[in-house]
Amino acid sequence: MSSSRRLPELLAPAGSPESLQAAVESGADAVYLGWGGFNARRGAQNFSQEEFAQALAYCHIRGVRVFLTLNILLTDRELPEALETARAASRLGVDAVLVQDWGLFDLLRHALPDLPLHASTQMSIFTSGGAREIAADGCERVVLARECSKDETAAICRNTSAQTEVFVHGALCMCYSGQCAMSAVVGRRSGNRGRCAQPCRLPYGVNEAAGDQRPLSLKDSCLADRLSEMADMGVSCLKIEGRMRRPGYVSTVTGIYAQLLDQGRKPTPQERELLERAFSRSGFTDAYWRGKTGPEMLGFRPENAAFIPDLPRQEGRRSPVRFTCRVEAGFPCTLTAEDEDGHAVTVSGPAPEAARTRELTREDLALRLGKTGGTPYRCEGVEALVEPGLSLSAAAINALRRDALEALGAARATPPSRRERELPPLPEAAFSQAEPKYTVSVLTAAQLTGGLLDFRPSRVYLPLELLANVPSLPETEGEYCAILPRVWRDRDEDLLRRWLDKSRKLGVTGLLLGNLGHFPLVRGEGWRLYGDYGLNVFNSRSLDYLGRKGLESACLSFELRFSQIRDMEKILPAEAIVYGRLPLMITENCLIQNSVGCRCDRPNFLNDRTGAAFPLLPAFGHRTEVQNSRPLWLADRPDWRNLGLSFARLRFTTESPEECVRVCRGYEERAAARGDFTRGLYQRGVE
């Protein structure tokens, strides 16, 4: 690597104080950690308030930055406490906060305007437009989706002012981060709330009874060979995953990546073996970075897999310091210590005495001051002014150096001065309705029948790719709306715009947006914009934020309880899914292709050990969307009708045209469910 090129920051996980120390001593430039209950690894040990303050001082003295993870979805009741957590962390000097929730992001940028904010990978940002959008709203850094390839990452680096952060090592989720509801729906432990139970690591079968296959379990990522490429394209930060893993793992992986970055090289065979022994699932993969998918990415860790013993740690991170010392007759000696960040402190010691035997020389003084071993500092140079004929004891010089470094450490650990503002008031909640109007979404043209339209839905949602291939749409009293693909890439945007033009000619007037990157794609084109479930709207502040971005309504997260929906301020007209198979995952890999070959034109299922069958539906870009095994049925439940919702969606996926009509009639008649169904999470909630 060129010595003039700025290397990316190396960011290591710190799930505990022990792991934090391991990361710092092994060469991390920054660490990320959880404090309190609002982070995506709530099962990690995390930090108490006292430990958090100690961690900040320990890291800042050593020139290591600290990022706080507040990256889960938050209810209205939780937002004030999360804000106070961020406020306390800011006062202590935390370097940045990672967020997922739109409402918290909006609160922080207004209440703590000087606190740097990072967009968590759970914001599902994978396009240049999405990165620009969040950067324009005041976000300093974007953690990109792990599925982004080398070329896609390079394009985002070129096209946004935000810093970019890339996961380079550790676990891969099969589902796009922030879009997985499988753990929540199946086990009530929400990944969006930091409680993922990892159902993706269990055995399943595709189109057959579940056996020993693990079609949702990916190998860990290892991009140790790709660090030079990332530096060349301007990636700002390289992130190691693993807040749930042992300090020995953190030490081994961080130490190897730090050396690779510093020395501008690829790993040796011995280092590769150490990385694999530290933790792996059937080896590693770099397929996403290469723009590839396929079954070779799959892997799991045997229950009896051995861990690598904790390795001896390196000397630890040491910050450069320069000394300036004056030793003059009749005056106290002084020592100034300066670091690279502009901190400078001066301390004084005793006045020198007349030399009786050997006088103090500049060389002697520089040699003794330079002995910074056992401290967080590395002496880079000493400028000494020593008058002849004077003597100063070794103990006095050592004390002078010790006092200077302690004072420098205090200066380095001093929190920056940051503004704090009062919370902006929420606008008046003017859109609460006595009873919601129905909307319907369909997956196929065959489902769009006269019988369905006789139901007189307020809106009819159709996939944009379906609209691109139909010659016309039947007349309806409601509004036709296109569902934009939940996942796409920069290279797809010209095609999507052509499809939007075609949809407009068919009479489509509304768009359903499920990702932040949709906004710059369609803004200013005269569309009516509505928010889909992919935006993970969990609180009133999120409604406010998204409304100011142009939404006229928003679908709420189906992980909310009825009581939480009822208490939400309806700043925008709110919609909820009240019928249908809930979407559990959207995957970059085609699960069908990986397991049984290309047969996406026929019904396919993921089967678990209980006999449940989860439909696998093709999604834009040869991706897969996993649906719940049972449809949600609420027709006979009165409670959802009086929550203030403006719209209630019937979501049709695998239903036949006749079944769609029967469901609509059932909701008109408030009929009891037949067959196997679920009430969803609205009553029982999630952890």
Q: What is the pLDDT of residue 317?
A: 76
d(CA 291, CA 515): 21
CB 507 within 8 A of CB 471: no
- Contacts of residue 193, defined as CB under 8 A and 6 or more positions apart, other chains included, come to 42, 72, 73, 184, 559, 686, 687
Pairing of strands 647-651, 574-580: parallel
Q: Which of 31, 25, 26 is nearest to 9 (CA)?
A: 31
State the pLDDT at residue 41. 64
Q: Provide the pLDDT for residue 308.
A: 58
- Please work out, in degrees rounded to the nearest 5, the angle formed at the alpha carbon of residue 665 by the alpha carbons of 660 and 671: 115
Task: Tell me what pLDDT residue 24 has.
Answer: 96
At 401-449, the pLDDT tens digits run 999 999 999 999 999 999 999 988 899 888 999 999 999 999 999 999 9
Q: How far apart (Å, rounded) are the C-alpha atoms in residues 398 and 386?
A: 16
pLDDT of residue 302: 73
Q: What pLDDT, on the 0 to 100 scale, is given for residue 4?
A: 44
Predicted local confidence at residue 2, as pLDDT: 37
pLDDT in tens, 80-115: 999 999 999 999 999 999 999 999 999 999 999 999
For residue 567, give the H/E element and its range. helix 562-567
Q: How far apart are CA 392 and CA 400, in angstroms?
A: 11
Copy the structure tokens of residue 89: 């962390």
Number of Cβ within a 10 Å radius of residue 47: 22
The pLDDT of residue 212 is 79
Cα distances (Å, whole numbers) of residue 367 to 122, 184, 340, 370:
52, 62, 21, 5
What pLDDT, on a 0 to 100 scale, did the predictor assign at position 307?
A: 60
Residues of the chain where predicted confidence (pLDDT) is lower than 70: 1-5, 40-45, 303-312, 314-315
Query: pTM, whole model, 2 decimals?
Result: 0.94
